[in-house]
A and B are shown apart, each in its own frame.
Chain A
């Protein structure tokens, strides 16, 4: 099996694909990127927590015009996973307003982004209808 790397460091591929967040130990605010201090309470201690893989679409758009090289149309969305809001594309669904709905239940899904020159395969994530 070829080696794999996650598209972003907050996507964990093992044991099963899931997202993790940096949670402020003091106030519980969650961040997907590296933070110097908590934007909510200014504390500086964080712990890594798992984010549920099931969620509900709280907003979306169907992008028809994007920068060169980005395949369109695609569905960009915000998904509430437990108490954590996550940004991701809705995949494995027709990108039309008939098929994508506010409030629809979705679950995390991964896809291959291809291999680099060293044979390392990047794995991306999105959400698909549950």
Chain B
């Protein structure tokens, strides 16, 4: 192993779901301590903590230190929408890569069970009404619901429909087939928030949220945390054979934002930044999409998963529907996608997601994924999008 390679030494995720008896720091501590155990190291070995949490009170990293070990190391509290976990991990990776620290710990945790609809601002109260222009649009009233929608299901529904306008209409049923796959996959994942298989008819017949996304086609709000310990090849060489055998190489670690393009002020462009990140990641890792044994991508809604087949170049441009209908993204297909069940059934505790997807890939590369193991998995990719936007992509490889 090259001395400047980056390795995941230990990684963990909690069960996703409803944790009524645990607060956000409990969840983060569970994940952090499990990652340290998995790595075979202690807080004494860690030179930096990168901590991600969006919905809590702030200062999450320091709160976490009080419960897992106050060693005086720097804490970076990071916030990057749904890419928060990946940003925390990337922060730890950059610190190790720079040579400033030997080992970094990244943690992402969220309490989101029962949070309901995300993104919609709602309407102002009508009592004592006075039309006064406010903000950068000089709006006299909220725009959500009157000038388009701010809700996440509606925004990502338009992302999928836009793909249909560009490359040929995509039917409601086609989008629903993505959820059929992910819910089927989740049955094998004991840490998923939901492990229930749905028929296509059940998915299409469920409550409509924002056409074409019905309820089971939306990511599941839930509680959860994930954490990872990263180190350099130089340090890994000095560790035990077992630590070296289980370490997973980070062949690419990329974070991008959305570059300006004409329509991005109207509908967030989640495509260009993903495609840009993917290009950089494949080049960094020296692999091509056809080399990937599994992919965990950001299926916050069924309509989003479809466009990312294309953005991650798992199919030719415009070929996402054919890719899906060929069976390629099923766990026995050419390029298994979201064998964890994805955000739609594994769940989406926002800040945990960008580390949990890497945990899933590592689990397979280590050959420790039990019933849902993808046989002989050697290379995997994990992708997240935080709306606004930020995209994190990591390519991971089994130790040689």
Which residues of chain A have a CB within 8 Å of any CB of chain B?
A: 5-10, 29-34, 39-40, 57-71, 74, 76-78, 83-89, 97, 102-103, 113-114, 116-118, 120, 122, 124-126
**A-B pairs under 8 A by CB, number:** 168
Q: Tell whether A9 pairs with B146 under 8 Å between CB atoms, given A59-B162, A86-B266.
A: no
**Interchain residue pairs with CB less than 8 A apart (15):** A30-B262, A31-B265, A32-B137, A32-B265, A61-B154, A61-B210, A61-B213, A63-B149, A65-B207, A66-B120, A67-B144, A85-B267, A88-B147, A116-B131, A124-B147
B18 to chain A, nearest CB (A): 21
Residues of chain A lying within 8 A (CB to CB) of residue B151: 63, 65-67
Residues of chain B lying within 8 A (CB to CB) of residue A97: 172, 211-212
Residues of chain A lying within 8 A (CB to CB) of residue B284: none
Report the bound CA distance from A40 to B143 in whole Å.
25
Q: Tell whether A102 pairs with B131 under 8 Å between CB atoms, given A10-B137, A32-B265.
A: no
Residues of chain B lying within 8 A (CB to CB) of residue A114: 129
4 closest cross-chain pairs (CB), A and B: A9-B138, A67-B122, A70-B145, A61-B157
Query: Would you call A7 and B140 a contact (CB within 8 A)?
Result: yes
Residues of chain A lying within 8 A (CB to CB) of residue B122: 67-70
Query: Would you call A102 and B262 a contact (CB within 8 A)?
Result: no
Query: Would you call B120 and A7 a contact (CB within 8 A)?
Result: no
Residues of chain A lying within 8 A (CB to CB) of residue B44: none
Query: Would you call A87 and B267 a contact (CB within 8 A)?
Result: yes
B294 to chain A, nearest CB (A): 30
Q: Does B99 contact A (CB under 8 A)?
A: no
Q: Does B319 contact A (CB under 8 A)?
A: no
Please report whether the interface of chain B is mostly helix, strand, loop or mixed according to DSSP. Answer: loop
Query: Would you call B154 and A117 a contact (CB within 8 A)?
Result: no
Q: Which of A34, A40, A69, A83 contacts B123 (CB 8 A)?
A: A69
Report the bound CA distance from A63 to B136 in whole Å.
25
- Supplied contacts A64-B211, A116-B130, 5 more A-B pairs, CB within 8 Å: A8-B147, A66-B117, A67-B144, A76-B158, A97-B212
Q: Which of A7, A30, A31 contacts B146 (CB 8 A)?
A: A7
Interface residues on chain B, number (Cβ under 8 Å): 50
Q: Which residue of A lies closest to B164 (CB)?
A: A102
A42 to chain B, nearest CB (A): 10
Which residues of chain B have a CB within 8 Å of any CB of chain A?
A: 117, 120-123, 128-131, 133, 135-141, 143-149, 151, 153-154, 157-159, 161-162, 164-165, 169, 172, 207-213, 260, 262-267
Residues of chain B lying within 8 A (CB to CB) of residue A125: 147
Query: Would you call B211 and A33 a contact (CB within 8 A)?
Result: no
Query: Would you call A65 and B266 a contact (CB within 8 A)?
Result: no
Report the bound CA distance from A51 to B380 in whole Å.
46
Residues of chain B lying within 8 A (CB to CB) of residue A70: 120, 122-123, 144-145
Report the bound CA distance from A120 to B121 in whole Å.
24
Query: Would you call B209 and A8 a contact (CB within 8 A)?
Result: no
Query: Would you call B138 and A76 a contact (CB within 8 A)?
Result: no
Report the bound CA distance from A58 to B151 in whole Å.
19
Report the bound CA distance from A74 to B146 in whole Å.
9
Residues of chain B lying within 8 A (CB to CB) of residue A78: 148, 158, 162, 263, 266-267
Residues of chain A lying within 8 A (CB to CB) of residue B121: 67
Residues of chain B lying within 8 A (CB to CB) of residue A5: 131, 133, 140
Q: Which residue of B lies closest to A61 (CB)?
A: B157
Report the bound CA distance from A117 to B235 in whole Å.
70
Report the bound CA distance from A93 to B333 in whole Å.
42
Report the bound CA distance from A118 to B158 in whole Å.
38
Residues of chain A lying within 8 A (CB to CB) of residue B211: 61-64, 97
